[in-house]
A = this chain, B = another copy of it.
Amino acid sequence: MSNFAVFSKTHSNRVLSINKKKLIVALRQKKQRDERSLFVVEGVKLVCDLLRGGMKPTYIAATAEALQTSAIQSVSCEKAECTPKEIAEVSLRQSGQEMVALFQKPESKAISKPTDLVLLLDEIQDPGNLGTIIRIADWFGIHTIIASKTTADAYAPKVVQASMGAIARVSVVETDIVEYLTINRDEWHLPVYGTFLEGANIYNTQVVTPSIIVMGNEGNGISNAVKPFVTDKLFIPNFPVGEVTSESLNVSAATAIVCSEFRRRNF
């Protein structure tokens, strides 16, 4: 037996190779995801959701049982059968470590005049909030999210997890939002909605589509750079009016209500 054969045998026992492990861990960093145009997805359900959404995996490492899932069997990409322990070594999950996959990041959509609602995110920092917002957009048929460069990365593991597969159906375009809003002001002339304490009652104010809805940062709301571009200020009334309540709603809760209100009128 040659030395090479010995090496090869050892190597095939350890199918989640050291290089792949390093790659999966490296992809926790946005810089690496951007450079390699890849992101990591964990769990059979989430991987299947993204496959259904038309996303393309380049690599799947999973337990023998998980590889038997029919949707996984029909995928042609590099696959590795490995133990839950091996997957746990690269996993961010506490339990259920049966599959980790690498997916290609979709190419960023070119910016063009919106023909429907667009959500514009002004520094949403919490990955859970961003994932929830992507899921809300998907539920309400909003196909484009414009995200400031200060917003969490849509392909970060926690965001992908919280979006529950919605990331496959919603384009998140990271861009300079002030430039975007300047183009709108000068060329597209679409209404720009934002929620403010002094805004008009959203329940009985006329709202139009296509338009741009701005959602602001968790702590500070809509930034000073973006405020001048808002053409229509809205307010989600607390109840009863004038009662002392929370100072604001969580940004994903507010996004849910605003999107619901826009779609309700066009139902």
Contacts and interface: CB of A to CB of B under 8 A. Distances in A.
Interface of A: 128, 132, 135-136, 138-141, 162, 164-166, 169, 201, 203-204, 236-240, 243-250, 252-257, 260-261, 263-264, 266-267
B203 A249 contact: no
Contact of A250 (B236, B252, B266): B252
A94 to B, nearest CB: 13
A139 B264 contact: no
B203 A245 contact: no
Contacts of A260: 236, 257, 260-261
13 contacts: A139-B248, A140-B245, A141-B243, A164-B246, A165-B246, A166-B246, A236-B260, A237-B267, A239-B267, A252-B252, A254-B256, A256-B257, A260-B260
The 3 A-B residue pairs with the shortest CB-CB distance, nearest first, are: A253-B256, A141-B239, A239-B263
B267 A136 contact: no
A266 B239 CA distance: 9
Contact of A132 (B166, B252, B261): B252
Contacts of A139: 236, 238-239, 245-246, 248-249
